[in-house]
């Protein structure tokens, strides 16, 4: 059985909230699954619209560019057509849990084959992954290993190469060393015994800034590995504080674009799947102006309401959630999907966008500081974007907008809300 590298602290037991069935993502199914469902009469349990029993001829449609793969057609509200009114999967009800599509049995996990092994990552679009609740993932490796074998047969993916920066491959051993020093930095306690996550992410940014200097990246693999170990261990153990650095002007501008990309993706998922969608276009135009400080808020997005809300992670639950998210981001590094620096920058840019949402939400309720429920809700909502295909145009745009290590410096300097966006003219809360 393949060795699954995983985040050992992650817990998960599905709470059957049905969120993943409602997000409007493509639910990929294989030709064999489609054949079996058609033979079992699946079209009779499939509904086109919410709260009706109206059936259609075929619940499946081919995925363009992926021969032999299909997706389940969605209801008008974007949910899976097999979701019942009482939040249950009709395939599960009729055929049993083991006959559900592999994609659904796998969620919220994902496999990344890399260098003869596989990395198991978990989606923070699932509230249970965000909360890290239930059985330890370490105790589920046998069943996940079986799922991996099924997945590798159904959706074969070439093994990825680990790079620290674009065009600079590193060995799995060097990547493991880098994860180890980044984790040591992230978990480093302050004098009160609690990690100061912002200061610690600043330390991580400084180390990665150093490692991605042209002169260092040119070192041969052995010397680069030595450099990572020596400088990384020294930086992780040093008491010297990192000089605070503000994100660059370009980084701040890109962060506004990134926040718009998050909001646009959210609107796309919420919009009706059919018709001209003129309302969607108008909302996107409004959000573009709002995130650049040029217009009022749109619908429930009014960034100015987060003004004056403290970004300190003093609330223990808010701190725990952000710490857990960052630990998972570090443990997942080296999937072969993107270079390590890009992967971490994207993860932190998504966190920054989440915190922009969270301060807006707590501000709406008149609170002055972040709390656990607001952070959890914002993380779940923002992380839908992490599903963007790496090689797709959108995935590449996201990496550019993430702004590289500026995303880490933004987090470290407690400024994840783009300043001009927070200044946008906006009516006061109702």
Residues forming contacts to ligand SF4 in the complex (CB under 6 A) are 14-20, 107-108, 126, 128
Say if residues 302 and 360 touch (Cβ distance below 8 Å). Answer: yes
Nearer to ligand SF4, 128 or 255 (CB): 128
Nearer to ligand SF4, 23 or 292 (CB): 23
CB of 86 to ligand SF4, least distance (A): 13
CB of 306 to ligand SF4, least distance (A): 26
Residue 12: other Cβ atoms inside 10 A:
19
CB of 83 to ligand SF4, least distance (A): 10
The DSSP annotation for 255-320 comes to HHHHHHHHHHHHHHHHS-SSS--HHHHHHHHHHHHHHTTSS--BTTB-GGGGTT-B----SHHHHH
CB of 266 to ligand SF4, least distance (A): 16
Question: Running DSSP on this structure, what letter comes out for residue 386?
Answer: G
**Which residue's structure tokens are 């609107």?**
267
CB of 130 to ligand SF4, least distance (A): 9
Long-range contacts, 262-265 (Cβ 8 Å, 24+): 262/350, 262/353, 262/382, 262/385, 263/287, 263/291, 263/301, 264/288, 265/384, 265/385, 265/388
CA dist 17 and 8 (Å) reads 24
Nearer to ligand SF4, 122 or 370 (CB): 122
Nearer to ligand SF4, 103 or 128 (CB): 128
CB of 404 to ligand SF4, least distance (A): 31
Nearer to ligand SF4, 136 or 160 (CB): 136
Which residue, among 11, 402, 340, has the nearest Cα to 161 in the 3D structure?
340
CB of 17 to ligand SF4, least distance (A): 4
Nearer to ligand SF4, 280 or 386 (CB): 386
Tokens standing for 377? 């809700």
Tokens standing for 58? 């075929």
- 3-state SS, residue 193: coil
CB of 189 to ligand SF4, least distance (A): 31
- 3-state SS, residue 60: strand
Strand partners, 5: 119
Q: Residue 276: exposed, middle, or buried by beta-carbon count in 10 A (0-12, 13-18, 19+)?
A: exposed
Q: What sections of 96-211 are H helices per DSSP? A: 102-106, 127-131, 141-154, 172-187, 197-211
CB of 127 to ligand SF4, least distance (A): 6
Nearer to ligand SF4, 119 or 126 (CB): 126
Nearer to ligand SF4, 126 or 374 (CB): 126
Nearer to ligand SF4, 132 or 200 (CB): 132
Tally of CA atoms within 13 A in the half-sphere of 170 that contains its CB: 32
**33 CB-near residues (< 8 Å, 6+ apart):** 70, 101, 102
């Amino acid at each position: 059985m393949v060795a699954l590298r995983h985040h050992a602290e992650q817990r998960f037991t599905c709470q059957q909230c049905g969120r993943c069935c409602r997000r409007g993502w493509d639910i990929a199914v294989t030709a064999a699954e489609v054949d079996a469902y058609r033979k079992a009469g699946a079209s009779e349990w499939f509904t086109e619209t919410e709260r009706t029993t109206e059936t259609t001829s075929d619940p499946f449609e081919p995925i363009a560019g992926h021969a032999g793969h299909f997706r389940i057609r969605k209801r008008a509200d974007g949910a899976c057509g097999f979701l019942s009114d009482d939040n249950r999967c009709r395939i599960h009800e009729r055929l049993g849990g083991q006959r559900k599509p592999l994609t659904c049995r796998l969620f919220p996990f994902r496999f990344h084959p890399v260098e003869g092994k596989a990395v198991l990552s978990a989606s923070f679009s699932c509230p249970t992954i965000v909360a890290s609740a239930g059985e330890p993932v370490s105790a589920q490796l046998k069943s996940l290993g079986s799922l991996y074998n099924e997945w590798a047969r159904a959706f074969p993916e070439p093994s990825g190469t680990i790079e620290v920066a674009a065009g600079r491959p590193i060995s799995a051993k060097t990547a493991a060393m880098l994860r180890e020093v980044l984790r040591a930095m992230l978990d480093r306690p302050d004098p009160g015994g609690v990690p100061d996550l912002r200061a610690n992410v600043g330390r991580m940014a400084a180390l990665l800034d150093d490692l991605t200097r042209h002169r260092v990246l040119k070192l041969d693999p052995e010397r680069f590995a030595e450099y990572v170990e020596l400088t990384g261990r020294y930086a992780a153990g040093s008491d010297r504080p990192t000089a605070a650095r503000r994100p660059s002007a370009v980084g701040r501008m890109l962060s506004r674009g990134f926040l718009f990309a998050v909001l646009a993706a959210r609107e796309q998922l919420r919009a009706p799947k059919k018709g001209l969608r003129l309302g969607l276009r108008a909302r996107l135009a409004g959000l573009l102006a709002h995130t650049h400080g040029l217009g009022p808020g749109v619908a429930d997005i009014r960034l100015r309401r987060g003004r004056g809300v403290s970004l300190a992670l003093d609330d223990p639950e808010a701190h725990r959630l952000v710490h857990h998210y960052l630990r998972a981001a570090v443990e997942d590094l080296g999937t072969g999907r993107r270079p390590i620096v890009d992967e971490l920058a994207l993860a932190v840019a998504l966190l920054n966008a989440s915190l922009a949402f969270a301060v807006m939400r707590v501000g709406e309720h008149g609170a002055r500081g972040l709390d656990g429920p607001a952070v959890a809700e914002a993380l779940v909502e923002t992380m839908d974007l992490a599903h963007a295909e790496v090689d797709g145009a959108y995935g590449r745009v996201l990496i550019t907008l993430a702004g590289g290590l500026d995303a880490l410096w933004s987090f470290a300097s407690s400024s994840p809300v783009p300043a001009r966006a927070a200044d946008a003219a906006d009516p006061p809360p109702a």
